[in-house]
Structure 1
Amino acid sequence: MAADGLDAFIIPRADAHQGEYVADADARLGWLTGFTGSAGFAIVTRDRAGLFIDGRYRVQVKGQVDPDHFTPVAWPETRPSDWLRDALPAGGRVGFDPWLHTRQEVETLDKALIDSGIGLIAVDRNPVDQIWTDRPAPPVGRARIHDDSVAGETAADKRARLAAQLRKDGQAAALLTLPDSISWLLNIRGSDLPKNPVVQSFAVLSDDGHVALFTDPAKFDDALRAHLGNQVAILHPEGLAPALLDLEGPVRIDPATAPEAAFRLLESADTQIARAPDPAILPKARKNPAELVGMRAAHLRDGVAMARLLAWLDAQDPGRLTEIDVVEKLESLRREAGITDISFDTICGAGPNGAIVHYRVTRATNRRLARGEVLLIDSGGQYPDGTTDITRTVPLGDPLPDAVVPYTAVLRGMIALSRTRFPKGVAGAHLDALARQHLWAQGLDYDHGTGHGVGAALCVHEGPARISRVSTLPLEAGMILSNEPGYYREGNFGIRIENLVAIRPAEAEAGRTMLGFETLTLCPIDRRLIDMAALSRDEIDWLDAYHAQVRDALSPHLDDDTRIWLQQATLPLGSSS
């Protein structure tokens, strides 16, 4: 930093594609700080270093980061601009890697620093990379065909559809930087990133439907090249910058997802820029009938694996198991169910570890289960035809009395969201409070969104749709979201109940278009922590109907012992077991 004349440098948890998950070669924040959460950033000055993390990671960061070197900073409560104003004098120079920040991020920070005398400096050489001497090589995972029958539309038709939209909007080309958008568009899947079946790449889509795909050609065999056809050119990543300099505009580029460096290249060539969302991001989020069929099929197989896991868990002496034992058992059952990979690192937190929202068990943190504790299991699978994400919270032995009230409030919020109908045009921010209402009534809350978008045999976290206080995007039929309220008591336990739901048309009075949710997840919800007196008749009816659906769907695919367990686990509320 001193050699480059910098007073501070920003290290995001991001790569040039701005995805949530990064390859080992791009895990700069984790390498520098030890923090492995999926969101956050650090700002390093010459005499201090702040690690900015949101509410999901306030507990996790304490066990991963040395406070003598990095001070956790509550974000977004503390804005980076305010921290920098306090840390630097007027005239301070803040460096950033323009490939690791979006145009929107840079503009927001630059605006917030107006009148501070502090300037943002785009660097040609990332100083982290200069000191990271054993940095891993970029991934070169094999790519594969995603069958048209599962995709529900050919890649040629998708390219033609998006190209027609470009022509309609008067745009000559679009730069795509999100690997899941590119993988969706071309009906390909990859293995560059664990648990996320995307091909790390950039692409330029022309208004005639041709695509220039910038990625390592070694990922593609002859069959995949034939699948892509002669309208898709596979080019080395080093060719992206020259190609951007040669493009004729207007070029569509998304300021919320594309790196600042791409904008600067286009601007240096005086190319006209059309600031607009990634053209694939909404079509990808609206699942077609074939994708929904695949997601339902994946959830059926996943439900079988989950039922087998929960039945097995109930038959064990908790004190003979550790968190890793449960993780390994679940992942083996999912492999038997046909996964290609898990969809994210399994979260399996017993007792106080459950209060770490995105806890990842390691050999160092592995906790032995104990009677009287609560176990939180958040997990999912990548299947050839769908992606799953499910959370269940179960008591080990006798229910923990302190967990009954918050567990019941979380369940009631999940049910409220599952049952809701809403007019077309409603956004996730409008629905978020439905899941929190019963927690709020107890003076409780949780520090994460209620739901994220989910891809169809793609990334388990998919934009742009979500259910959160800040999401203003209108929800549409075909979108798939998680429904996952929770509650976390630091040092004691964590509670989360999560199903995936698909948005579909709902019955409505004449003149009003209404939407509702179809629950995709098939797995019993533990009844032992429910305060029955707190549930309404409608809530009881919903849970009984859901459990009947789960029982009918899973029973034909289960062994005798698990089927008997399932019968007991899905009895109507109030029935004796």
Structure 2
Amino acid sequence: MFQSFTETASPDQGPPRLAALRARMAEAGLDGFIVPRADAHQGEYVAPRDDRLAWLTGFTGSAGWCVALADRAGVFVDGRYRVQIKRQVADVFEPVAWPETSLGDWISSALPKGVIGFDPWLLSVEQKRGLEAKLEQVALRACENLVDAIWADQPDPPLGKVIVQPPELAGEAHGDKIARLAAGLGKARAAILTLPDSIAWLLNIRGSDIPRNPVAHGFAILHEDARVTLFMDDRKLVDVTDHLGPRVTVRPPDEFLSAVAALDGAALIDPATCPVAVAEAIAGDIVEAPDPCLLPKACKNATELDGARSAQLRDAAAMVRFLAWLDAQPAGSLTEIDVVRRLEAERTASNALRDISFETIAGAGAHGAIVHYRVTEATDAPVADGQLLLVDSGGQYVDGTTDITRTVAIGDPGAEECAAFTRVLKGMIAVSRLRFPKGLAGRDIDPFARHALWEAGLDYDHGTGHGVGSYLSVHEGPARIARAGTVALEPGMILSNEPGFYREGAFGIRIENLIAVERAPALPGQTVSEMYRFETLTWVPIDTRLVVPALLTQAERDWLNDYHAAVLDRVGPLVDDPERDWLSLACRPI
């Protein structure tokens, strides 16, 4: 099986580890130390060696910070983790609502004057600037990583094998990508790349250094003459040397900073992802601009979109087999771990799965209200009669990355649950049906997903959608559907569409499809020069037992019935007769 159910951190380990960190702070003459959930590559996902925040605090979410002071220690988490953190950290840590409360504001209030240490590899240029703007009487000091100094059994750096993502899957040879991006460097003579998925996309390689994400740790410099210097342990690269070819020179990672310092001419960095240590090593001029790989990587080409469609159908067949099996089990006969194991077995049965795309979320009842809940042996709960079961999962296939959430009724659902589910569904449908002018960003789309919930005084404390990679990270920038989503949506971008609602201590609801931005055909009399819409990529039934038809408009009902007819048409031929019979019932019009 792909997933382990062992808890990776425990609250009772937090107090002695915090005490050890504070002792190191005192020895170093520091009043505080910053521990982000980050690594030197500044991607969203970290290897076990770099999961310092979880090791110190017990918090295992995918984003967050700890600021340890001599008498206080704040753990900063966003809305996805407000429930989760309560059970994961000891009371020596103070949960802080972030970004509503910034690190700088909290530090200024908690420490009027002093010196805060930070690892310059783990803080981006932009993050450091943001902190310095808030800290008038508190100085930031770069230093060694104090967590590493006390982490006696810290894992070794990963050495995962690198493989080729061939042009027939990538849609473009890596030499052509290099030349295209090099030609767009403008005043810069080189661009410094630290994001693992940017390097993987640019060089048409995939790795295995990060769990669930097919990327490899390394750094790269893209030169204006269409060469790339790749700084990566060559033990990872034994199977891709011929593929990389003459455009790519491989050097050891420990030569990266010296190569940066030796660059002749202006160097481009992305201040949002470039570590402070790298920026400070640059001897010449600095050009600040977004990572040049971000937007081309996000706008999938025709080959990648075809691959995504194929991966989604393959994944949908596994989901239908799973949901048919789930529906046949008596209420109370399963636990959350049983659910996860069965779903992962159905995906594995395709013989095409490379990995799951993230740890499967299977939250029954109150656990569904923990947005990124991950079942362990200690938390495993029965899936009981009358509950909602929220299942959020995905797969990594060589032709695409999937991510889908379905909320399922176990037995007879309650009226509150059905009303909330229907309002969440209305939001998902609203985004799915939307036509919008070119130039709009995710923040412009986000309210459509929330409108039906807002009418009832309800909301959810996470974004509506994130970008999704092409056999890459399941969370991919720069675009997202969220209040903070400022990047304009462009054709080829694959995004999730996943509104939700969560009643703490009772239930959670989320419905998620993947969608792709595409150009919309012009309408008669249209005055907007260009309009976009979304292509639905996910084809799995939505549990109509939870739908209150009276809350749907006729257009919404038509969309749902048409969607289910398409699910039956596309996925029915991919499953056996028993599952097809179940699918026919699940896709009945309402």
TM over 0.5: yes
Of residues 128, 138, 142, the one that matches 1:118 is: 138
Q: What secondary structure is seen at the aligned counterpart in 2 of 1:397?
A: coil
Aligned match of 1:477: 491
Of residues 100, 106, 109, the one that matches 2:131 is: 109
Query: How many angstroms apart in 2 are the aligned matches of 1:379 and 1:97?
Result: 34
Alpha-carbon RMSD: 0.8
Q: What secondary structure is seen at the aligned counterpart in 1 of 2:201?
A: helix
Query: How many angstroms apart in 2 are the aligned matches of 1:212 and 1:503?
Result: 33
Aligned match of 1:232: 248
Q: What secondary structure is seen at the aligned counterpart in 1 of 2:407?
A: strand
Does structure 1 residue 78 correspond to structure 2 residue 101? yes
Return the letter of the residue paired with 1:130.
Answer: A
Query: How many angstroms apart in 1 are the aligned matches of 2:586 and 2:323?
Result: 10
Query: How many angstroms apart in 2 are the aligned matches of 1:60 and 1:318?
Result: 26
Query: How many angstroms apart in 2 are the aligned matches of 1:380 and 1:197?
Result: 14
Aligned match of 1:546: 563
Aligned match of 2:439: 425
Aligned match of 2:260: 244
Does structure 1 residue 25 correspond to structure 2 residue 45? no
Of residues 151, 160, 170, the one that matches 2:179 is: 160
For 1:217-262, what per-residue CA distance to the aligned partner results, in whole angstroms no more than 9, with x for missing partners?
10012x4100110221111110101111111121111001111111
Return the letter of the residue paired with 1:87.
Answer: A
Aligned match of 1:362: 376
Query: How many angstroms apart in 2 are the aligned matches of 1:457 and 1:72?
Result: 35
Does structure 1 residue 254 correspond to structure 2 residue 267? no
Is the 2:32–2:117 contact (alpha carbons within 8 Å) kept by the matching residues of 1? yes
Query: How many angstroms apart in 1 are the aligned matches of 2:519 and 2:270?
Result: 30
* C-alpha displacement of 1:401: 2.0
Matches within 5 A, 1:13-412: 13-67=37-91, 69-90=92-113, 92-113=114-135, 116-123=136-143, 125-166=144-185, 169-221=186-238, 223-266=239-282, 269=283, 271-337=284-350, 338-412=352-426
Return the letter of the residue paired with 2:96.
Answer: V
Query: How many angstroms apart in 1 are the aligned matches of 2:403 and 2:117?
Result: 38
* C-alpha displacement of 1:400: 2.2
Is the 1:318–1:369 contact (alpha carbons within 8 Å) kept by the matching residues of 2? yes
Is the 2:233–2:252 contact (alpha carbons within 8 Å) kept by the matching residues of 1? yes
Q: What secondary structure is seen at the aligned counterpart in 1 of 2:445?
A: helix
Query: How many angstroms apart in 2 are the aligned matches of 1:374 and 1:291?
Result: 35
Q: What secondary structure is seen at the aligned counterpart in 2 of 1:165?
A: coil
* C-alpha displacement of 1:511: 5.4
Q: Which runs of 5 or more structure 2 residues have no equivalent in the other structure?
A: 1-24
Query: How many angstroms apart in 2 are the aligned matches of 1:420 and 1:433?
Result: 12
Using the size of structure 2 for normalisation, the TM-score is 0.94
Return the letter of the residue paired with 1:204.
Answer: I
Query: How many angstroms apart in 2 are the aligned matches of 1:414 and 1:329?
Result: 27
Is the 2:437–2:528 contact (alpha carbons within 8 Å) kept by the matching residues of 1? no
Is the 2:108–2:134 contact (alpha carbons within 8 Å) kept by the matching residues of 1? no
Q: What secondary structure is seen at the aligned counterpart in 2 of 1:265?
A: coil
* C-alpha displacement of 1:79: 1.8
Is the 1:378–1:389 contact (alpha carbons within 8 Å) kept by the matching residues of 2? yes
Query: How many angstroms apart in 1 are the aligned matches of 2:311 and 2:117?
Result: 45
Q: Which stretch of structure 1 is more off in the superposition, 397-406 or 34-43?
A: 397-406
Query: How many angstroms apart in 1 are the aligned matches of 2:220 and 2:384?
Result: 51
Query: How many angstroms apart in 2 are the aligned matches of 1:258 and 1:318?
Result: 51
Is the 1:374–1:400 contact (alpha carbons within 8 Å) kept by the matching residues of 2? no
Query: How many angstroms apart in 2 are the aligned matches of 1:288 and 1:246?
Result: 35
Is the 2:74–2:93 contact (alpha carbons within 8 Å) kept by the matching residues of 1? yes
Query: How many angstroms apart in 2 are the aligned matches of 1:89 and 1:438?
Result: 44
**Number of corresponding residues:** 562
Query: How many angstroms apart in 2 are the aligned matches of 1:228 and 1:80?
Result: 42
Instruction: Note closer, same or farther for the CA distance 1:511–1:538 as it changes in structure 2 (3 Å cut).
Output: closer
Q: What secondary structure is seen at the aligned counterpart in 1 of 2:546?
A: coil
Q: Tell me which stretches of 4 or more aligned residues in structure 1 moved more than 2 Å.
A: 508-511
Does structure 1 residue 415 correspond to structure 2 residue 434? no
For 1:56-90, what per-residue CA distance to the aligned partner results, in whole angstroms no more than 9, with x for missing partners?
111101111111x2111111222212211222132
* C-alpha displacement of 1:375: 0.2
Return the letter of the residue paired with 2:339.
Answer: V
Q: What secondary structure is seen at the aligned counterpart in 1 of 2:99?
A: coil
Using the size of structure 1 for normalisation, the TM-score is 0.97
Aligned match of 2:7: none
Query: How many angstroms apart in 2 are the aligned matches of 1:56 and 1:331?
Result: 24
Aligned match of 2:15: none
Q: What secondary structure is seen at the aligned counterpart in 2 of 1:318?
A: coil
* C-alpha displacement of 1:447: 0.4
Q: What secondary structure is seen at the aligned counterpart in 2 of 1:340?
A: strand
Query: How many angstroms apart in 2 are the aligned matches of 1:77 and 1:457?
Result: 33
Matches within 5 A, 1:506-517: 506-508=520-522, 509=526, 512-517=529-534
